[in-house]
Amino acid sequence: MNRIAMQSPSFIYHIRQYLFAFAVIAAITAIFFALREVLDITLVALLYLIPLGVITAFWGLGLGITSALLSFLLLNYFFIKPYYTLAVHRPTDIVILAVFFIVAVVISQLVGRMQAGLAAATAREREATQLYQLSTVLVGLHDDRSIAQILAVQVQAVSQGECVELSIKGTHPFTFRLPEMDAPARAAELIVPIQAARGVLGEIKLWKTESAISLAEKRLFQTFASQGALALERGWLVEAESRAKVLEESDHLKSILLSSVSHELRTPLSTIKAAASSLRGHEVSWDSPARSELIAAIDEEADHLNMLVGNLLDMSRIESGALKPKREWNILSEIVGSVLVRMRHLVEAHQLEVDVPDSLPLVPVDYVQMEQVFTNLVSNSVKYAPEKTVVRVRAFVEGESIHVLVGNQGPQVPQEHLDRIFDKFYRVTAADRVTGTGLGLSICKGIIEAHGGRIWAENVHDGLVFNFIVPLMWEGMPPQQLPIDTEIE
Amino acid sequence: MSNAPHILVIDDEPQIQRAIRTILTEKGFKVTTASRGEEGLTLAAVNEPDLVILDLGLPDMDGVEVCTRLREWTQCPIIILSVRDSEHDKVAALDKGADDYLTKPFGIEELLARVRVALRHSMNAQGTQSKVVKAGLLTIDLAWHIVKRGDEEIKLTGTEYKLLSYIASNHRRVLTHQSILIHVWGPADADHTEYLRVYMRQLRKKLEADPERPQIILTEPGIGYRFIADE
């Protein structure tokens, strides 16, 4: 039997209960009436107790008592002489009636109490179930918003109230309301604070008109609130812990950066210092070939230093989110061309194969940053691939993106390192074998991602290929049509 | 050497001042230095230099501001110095009237080349403005609207010619995207860099020996274009 449905108060439902109970009593009375001459009065009185018990068991104490009273009157009216009056002449009949009335009321009481106890037990079980459900749902949640949402949904489901509002304090205070409308103008009927060890974290407000909020409900919502407080606190702890981890990690990265950078900076500085001091000290004669060699070394190493510092700046800009591409419609072949012209000395030991047709559509990219991506990918390729091998640069349209490949015939990278080569300071090879800050590829990644694209590396049969895609649409739009131009006659 | 060209260097870093002064003096220029914007403006007014080399990162005022105030009364060439990644400032200074820029660190060769181009222009400006611009085999007659490579005339569309004549007649300057777009297409199209990219590609195909490695119309990444004319 569904107790929850029975508890929902409804006038018509009550009327129907009463009518049904009276019908049962009427039917029983009719049967007894037919057998009035055969049955003894005491037996009739006894038999009346059966429907009374049943009615009380099904519909509660109130109806039981009413039915008992009705049966008492009917017994008196139809079965105790003189018939069809409520007068009683025989003393035994008075005793029978009195006993019947007492027994009927006692039975109703007992059965009714049992029922009430059962109802309370069921309600408690329901509370326990709801609490259990709430706590299981809350266990997996760490952010304030979803915790507040679950809490509000549960309170609303249990209370069936008009409106539930949850406000959470803290660094980012917010309010969550169910249903999502303006709160009623009047003050909330129930306000439960969400109290934790650190203080009040927020409160639950409930507007509920239909009936007053029962004590049991109040108790339940208080338990909900303390469950919510626990979940919120847990969320805060998890967040604090992850923040601590991030800090620790960035601290670790900084120390790697410092050691890597000081090593990288010192190498060209040593060269420059050695070359400049030997030139200054007149140890090298003015016309010796060593002199121009030393000067070239100073020049090259100064460029190298400049590049290192540039990389560091780029990286810190990417980290702080300050790297915002200044997008313009550009011709990819022009960017690739200018990079390769500038890098011609670096790539002359390798064979370059470039397939970036200038018939490709315009790409919405930051010219300078894209140059940087190509510079880093090509210089990475020539750094690791043996001399005289082929370095390929290829670009083509793929759906609504442009796909660029920069491939080399250098050593493959183990599968498990493929993703990580774009991490800062990550090197597959030992750091002292190849120069560089270990930032080039992660700068590429930062730039490509700032353009809304994706970059990855893959092994191919004869080497390694860097891939990246960037969208051809800019704010969902292709480039504007060019104005019509006319030929000079 | 009393009529040696006079160069005013406005830069707050003593090392840079020292290096530039040493080299320029060695090359026969007369050099004055200033380490602050106000000082630079005063020296410019007093000395009327033939060229100003201006650092954009000054302690007392914005280099772009110095540029604007110089342009209020003098047309002497201004070459700006600036660090990498400040394209925005460079573009602002160029739009405010600076002629050229150099990114620190720069080679002295580069500096000297820029100085020579700028000075030649200012000397020319005092005489008559040349109506014919030459760049390698290319001859552009700005008066007669004729473009030739060697003896062969090159046909250009209306917009192509407008574009070429604008950058060629400003060949000693770096022109920003915006300034070209405004002059050739009009202020309404000042943001349509794509027009510029496409037309420059067409122009290079018609004018350059190797359009992939342009020698005449150079791209200044993130800034604009530079037309390299014969000296």
The ipTM (two decimal places) reads 0.84
- Whether B161 contacts chain A with CB within 8 A: yes
Cβ(A335)–Cβ(A447) below 8 Å: no
pLDDT at A7 over 60: no
The superfamily in CATH containing domain A142-241 is GAF domain (3.30.450.40)
Residue pointed to by tokens 């919120």: A232
**What is the DSSP-derived secondary structure letter of residue A78?**
I
User: Chain B residue closest to A479 (CA)?
Assistant: B194
**pLDDT category, A8, cuts 50, 70, 90?**
very low
Are the beta carbons of A368 and B198 separated by less than 8 Å?
no
pLDDT at A186 over 70: yes
Residue pointed to by tokens 């805060």: A236
Question: Which CATH fold topology does B6-126 show?
Answer: Rossmann fold (3.40.50)
Cβ(B193)–Cβ(B177) below 8 Å: yes
The count of other CB atoms within 10 Å of the CB of residue A246 is: 10
Q: Indicate the helix (H) or strand (E) that contains A395.
A: strand A390-398
pLDDT at A31 over 80: yes
Which residues from A are below 8 Å from B when comparing CB atoms?
Answer: 299, 302, 306, 310, 313, 326, 328-331, 333-334, 337-338, 341, 358, 362, 366-368, 371, 479-480, 482-483, 485-488
* Dihedral in degrees, nearest 10, Cα atoms A279, A283, A285, A286: 20
Residues of chain B with pLDDT > 70: what percent?
Answer: 94
d(CA B103, CA B85): 9
d(CA A455, CA A447): 10
Chain A / chain B CB contacts < 8 angstroms: 66
Cβ(A194)–Cβ(A203) below 8 Å: yes
pLDDT at res. A434: 55
d(CA B142, CA B163): 12
pLDDT at B129 over 80: no
pLDDT at res. B179: 93
Q: Which CATH architecture has domain A328-471?
A: 2-Layer Sandwich (3.30)
Secondary structure percentages of chain B, helix, strand, coil, to 5? 45, 25, 35
Are the beta carbons of B201 and A485 separated by less than 8 Å?
no
**pLDDT category, A2, cuts 50, 70, 90?**
very low
From-to residues of CATH 3.30.450.40 in chain A: 142-241
Are the beta carbons of B192 and A334 separated by less than 8 Å?
no
pLDDT at A96 over 60: yes
Q: What are the DSSP E strand ranges found in A399-453?
A: 401-408
pLDDT at res. A429: 60
- Report the gap between the CA of A298 and the closest CA in chain B (Å): 12
pLDDT single digits (tens) A478-488: 777 776 666 55
The one-letter amino acid at A325:
P
pLDDT at res. B98: 92
Question: Which CATH fold topology does A245-319 show?
Answer: Helix Hairpins (1.10.287)
User: Chain B residue closest to A317 (CA)?
Assistant: B85
Q: Indicate the helix (H) or strand (E) that contains A24.
A: helix A11-34
- Whether B155 contacts chain A with CB within 8 A: yes
From-to residues of CATH 1.10.287.130 in chain A: 245-319
Q: Which two tokens stand for residue A82?
A: 């003189």
From-to residues of CATH 1.10.10.10 in chain B: 132-227
More confident residue, B210 or B231: B210
When the pLDDT of each residue in chain A is averaged and rounded to a whole number, the result is: 83
More confident residue, A403 or A436: A403
Are the beta carbons of A486 and B157 separated by less than 8 Å?
yes
Cβ(A181)–Cβ(A207) below 8 Å: no
Is pTM, for the whole model, over 0.80?
no
Read off the pLDDT of each residue in B109-135 and give the average, rounded to a whole number.
78
Cβ(A242)–Cβ(A154) below 8 Å: no
d(CA A467, CA A456): 5
d(CA A331, CA A337): 10
Q: Which of A217-221, A250-254, A304-308 shows the lowest mean pLDDT across its residues?
A: A250-254
φ, ψ of residue A166 to 5 degrees: the values are -120, 120
The one-letter amino acid at A227:
Q
- Whether B209 contacts chain A with CB within 8 A: no
Q: Which of A39-43, A232-236, A407-411 shows the lowest mean pLDDT across its residues?
A: A39-43
- Report the gap between the CA of B194 and the closest CA in chain A (Å): 5
Sequence-separated (6 or more) residues with CB below 8 Å from residue B144: none
Q: Which two tokens stand for residue A30?
A: 């009719």
d(CA B110, CA A399): 44
In a 10 Å sphere around its CB, with 0-12 CB exposed, 13-18 middle and 19+ buried, how is residue A197 labelled?
Answer: exposed
**What is the DSSP-derived secondary structure letter of residue A76?**
I
Cross-chain CB nearest to A368 (options B160, B197, B222): B222
A368-380 burial by CB neighbour count: b if 16+ within 10 A, else e?
bbbbbbbbbbbbb
pLDDT at res. A4: 41
Cross-chain CB nearest to B84 (options A310, A362, A366): A310
d(CA A218, CA A224): 10
pLDDT single digits (tens) B153-179: 999 998 999 999 999 988 888 999 999
From-to residues of CATH 3.40.50.2300 in chain B: 6-126
**Contact residues on chain B for A341, CB-CB shorter than 8 A:** 213
Are the beta carbons of A485 and B219 separated by less than 8 Å?
no
More confident residue, B230 or A457: A457
ω into A357 cis (within 30 of 0): no
Q: Which two tokens stand for residue B147?
A: 């473009």
**Contact residues on chain A for B194, CB-CB shorter than 8 A:** 328-329, 362, 479-480, 482
A393-410 burial by CB neighbour count: b if 16+ within 10 A, else e?
bbbeeeeebbebbbbbbb
- Report the gap between the CA of A480 and the closest CA in chain B (Å): 8
**Contact residues on chain B for A361, CB-CB shorter than 8 A:** none
Q: Which CATH architecture has domain B132-227?
A: Orthogonal Bundle (1.10)
In a 10 Å sphere around its CB, with 0-12 CB exposed, 13-18 middle and 19+ buried, how is residue A452 labelled?
Answer: middle
When the pLDDT of each residue in chain B is averaged and rounded to a whole number, the result is: 88
Q: Which of A117-131, A329-343, A414-428, B199-213 shows the lowest mean pLDDT across its residues?
A: A414-428
**Contact residues on chain B for A482, CB-CB shorter than 8 A:** 194-195, 198
**Contact residues on chain A for B198, CB-CB shorter than 8 A:** 331, 362, 482
Read off the pLDDT of each residue in A57-61 and give the average, rounded to a whole number.
78
Instruction: Please calculate the CA angle A9-A15-A17 and round it to the nearest 5 degrees.
Output: 85
**pLDDT category, A489, cuts 50, 70, 90?**
very low
d(CA B121, CA A47): 128
According to the per-residue pLDDT averaged within each range, which of A141-155, A208-222, A475-489 is highest? A141-155
d(CA B212, CA B195): 19
Q: Which two tokens stand for residue A9?
A: 């108060």
- Report the gap between the CA of B77 and the closest CA in chain A (Å): 26
φ, ψ of residue A152 to 5 degrees: the values are -65, -40
